[in-house]
Structure 1
Amino acid sequence: MNSSLWGQDSENVTGNCSIDGFKRSVYPATYLLTFTLGLMGGAVSLCSFVSLIRTKGRLTAVNLYMLNLLVSDLMLVCSLPFRAAYYLMGSNWIFGDVTCRVISFVFYINMYSSIYFLMVLSVMRYLAITHPYKYVQLQSSRSSWVVCLLVWVVVSLASTPLLGAGSVQDRGHTRCLDLAKKNVDTIVKMNYASVFLGFVLPFAVISFCYVFVVHSLLKPREVRGPKRPCYRKSCALVVIVLAIFFICFLPYHVVRILFLHAEWQLTRNVYASSCHYIEGLHKAAVVTLCLAVANSCLDPLLFFFAGENFWKFCNRKGKLVPKSRNVLRKMVNMPNTELQELKA
């Protein structure tokens, strides 16, 4: 199969409706900006986790899931300079066949591992509010390691077809990250399965969890004062996770379905007389791919709002959080208990 099963860096199968200029303008700038922001946010977050391990000697289940989410983001971020260089050199891949396969593999590993770790975090947040004792048990158990391993194994196995084929020679260029005419029928069928298992199902679970979370947070409470910001903070976490799905993942999967359907029709010359529709889909695929890649920049917001450990790390470093922000930091910090760590 082609190294980009679902046209992740969309190239038309006929070559008659090329948007190479558009891709050369959009992809490198987006990839390099995402690389810079994602690497900075990821480095700070990683330092906070290392500091947490040194001080406490262990990670709670929630922190372990967040650490795995961070590792997934850093994998994608480190692959972006290769993607940018490919388009800056006129869609000519110079990094070798193995690297081409790995770069495509890493993209899907990041996307679907991120989706599943966000789902697991949402389930944990749901348990913290509806079944707090069960949540405390899970926080201290080793089952979280099994969950992390299961996510990585399942996502990796599902993405292994991307390692089956690499770069190809095309008119004097070495192509990578493009969708070819070959195997379009099979790719379209696989796409429907991946969209359901990799996006629709996790998003349904997340939506179910957050309906109960928001319902609980909106209930009138007699407690006032210091505890109220914790509930506002929980709402902020809900907004961040849903924003990541609606901004990064939903547009990409919707356009991918339309794009592959159009590619399948192109093989049957449905659009032989006009490129207007297919060009629009190609450009939409470029934009939504950039949004999907941007999830590696938005995920650090979860570490920021997840609160106490990140702020304690920043407070120790001093330079990262100005003293003038002490009042704001106190407002958003959570009580120092395992249960409040996720509910807040």
Structure 2
Amino acid sequence: MGNITTSNAATNCTIDHTIHQTLAPVVYVLVLAVGFPANCLSLYYGYLQIKAKNELGVYLCNLTVADLLYICSLPFWLQYVLQHDNWLHGDLSCKICGILLYENIYISVGFLCCISIDRYLAVAHPFRFHQFRTVKAAAGVSVGIWAKELLAGVIFLMHTEVMEDKDQHLVCFEHYPIQPWQRKINYYRFSVGFLFPICLLFFSYWGILRAVRRSHGTQKTRKDQIQRLVLSTMVIFLACFLPYHVLLLVRSLWEDSCEFAKEIFNTYHFSLLLTSFNCVADPVLYCFVSENTHRDLARLRASCLGFLTCSGLRGAKEAFPLSSPEALGKNEARREEPELLTKLHPPCPLSSSPGPGGTSQEG
């Protein structure tokens, strides 16, 4: 098994890990197949925002990088569960993958909170707090979030995370019942990593909804679209993170025996699997619901079509009706968005094209 430091005394708590061999592989494969390409597109969208000097792009890119790092650890976890919870890659790799798994939750929560506060300031206070809504300020906040979570993850490096069970399998991040040092960090996770950010997020989105309702210059259909975006964000946030943190607190408070660990094991690990869907939900919420993003992605597709056409694939033109003048005209008509929706999803810069007089101008 390599140079693996394991506990000589196998744990006396024997738990049925069937959920790891049945449900976990399905979730991991789904998140890999959908989350990786979706987050790559999200990274492109965030790059366009940064190019436009928009601070939202900084948060989007950091959120996407955190999701991609977690997604890159999924093949290791997939192999682990398919091997019947037998870790084959050493203690250090177990710690790194575990940190990517658990800290991604709080890095994601942090940047979702930053995005909500940024959108609240843009909609409710568009002429104030400019010093907090700059690319430089967003970069500073992002460094602080990464530093805080990475420092919190150091505690896992101080403990052995690979242990040998009664079947001589090397289990990774499996401690039953919960250990005393884990209780302390779990209280920190729940209060600082989840409860405080979600209070800020609720306050921010309540302010956004109130500003939308007070706006008289926005069409009703646009107001409905903004409210659906805000409410769907809250629902997905709660669905992905609330069950896990409730059960995390329950374990920390009352798990002091193997019997209790057995009773809560499946429910707890199901809630942990739910957090993985955040990697799929993030790009959908903050990129693909915006008409601006639809237009940018349509133009990206049109550029790819142009490349294929120049390469001799003439038949591809009929397969993409968006390239027709009528479709492009309808697409251009979507530019007229109300002020509030534009603030929620600032338009991205289009690729440079020769303007009048041969100079390059942004679309």
Instruction: Give SS of 1:91's match.
Output: coil
Residue of structure 2 equivalent to 1:281: 264
Within 5 Å, give how 1:330-341 maps onto structure 2.
Answer: 335=337, 340-341=342-343
Task: Indicate which of 164, 174, 177 corresponds to 1:178.
Answer: 174
> Is residue 161 of structure 2 the alignment partner of residue 166 of structure 1?
yes
The question of whether the paired residues in 2 share the 8 Å contact of 1:129 and 1:343 is answered with: no
Instruction: Give SS of 1:38's match.
Output: helix
The question of whether the paired residues in 2 share the 8 Å contact of 1:126 and 1:212 is answered with: yes
How far has the Cα of 1:163 moved from its partner?
Answer: 2.0
Task: Indicate which of 13, 37, 41 corresponds to 2:38.
Answer: 41
How far has the Cα of 1:325 moved from its partner?
Answer: 8.1
Instruction: Give SS of 1:127's match.
Output: helix
Instruction: Give SS of 1:122's match.
Output: helix
Larger radius of gyration, structure 1 or 2?
2
Instruction: Give SS of 2:241's match.
Output: helix
In 1, the alpha carbon distance for the partners of 2:66 and 2:26 equals 22
Instruction: Give SS of 1:175's match.
Output: strand
> Is residue 213 of structure 2 the alignment partner of residue 218 of structure 1?
yes
In 2, the alpha carbon distance for the partners of 1:327 and 1:243 equals 35
Residue of structure 2 equivalent to 1:258: 250
> Is residue 153 of structure 2 the alignment partner of residue 151 of structure 1?
no
Structure 1 residues 137 and 41: CA distance shift in structure 2, 3 A: same
Residue of structure 2 equivalent to 1:15: 13
Residue of structure 1 equivalent to 2:63: 69
Residue of structure 1 equivalent to 2:273: 290
In 1, the alpha carbon distance for the partners of 2:345 and 2:41 equals 23
Q: How big is the alpha-carbon RMSD for the aligned residues of Structure 1 and Structure 2?
A: 3.1
Structure 1 residues 22 and 329: CA distance shift in structure 2, 3 A: farther
Task: Indicate which of 303, 310, 324 corresponds to 2:287.
Answer: 303
The question of whether the paired residues in 1 share the 8 Å contact of 2:212 and 2:340 is answered with: no
1:171-197 CA distance string (max 9 Å, x none): 42222131245x712322321222000
Name the aligned partner's letter for residue 82 of structure 2.
L
The question of whether the paired residues in 2 share the 8 Å contact of 1:76 and 1:107 is answered with: yes
Identity across the alignment (%): 24
1:259-317 CA distance string (max 9 Å, x none): 34443244xxxx4xxxxx65441111121011011100100111212452563133232
Name the aligned partner's letter for residue 142 of structure 1.
K
TM-score by length of 1: 0.81
Structure 1 residues 136 and 322: CA distance shift in structure 2, 3 A: farther
Instruction: Give SS of 2:170's match.
Output: strand
In 1, the alpha carbon distance for the partners of 2:287 and 2:265 equals 34
Within 5 Å, give how 1:134-145 maps onto structure 2.
Answer: 134=128, 137-145=131-139
- Alignment: residue pair count: 316
TM-score by length of 2: 0.77
In 2, the alpha carbon distance for the partners of 1:44 and 1:338 equals 24
Q: Which runs of 5+ in 2 are unaligned?
A: 1-10, 306-319, 347-363
Name the aligned partner's letter for residue 76 of structure 1.
Y
Structure 1 residues 120 and 129: CA distance shift in structure 2, 3 A: same
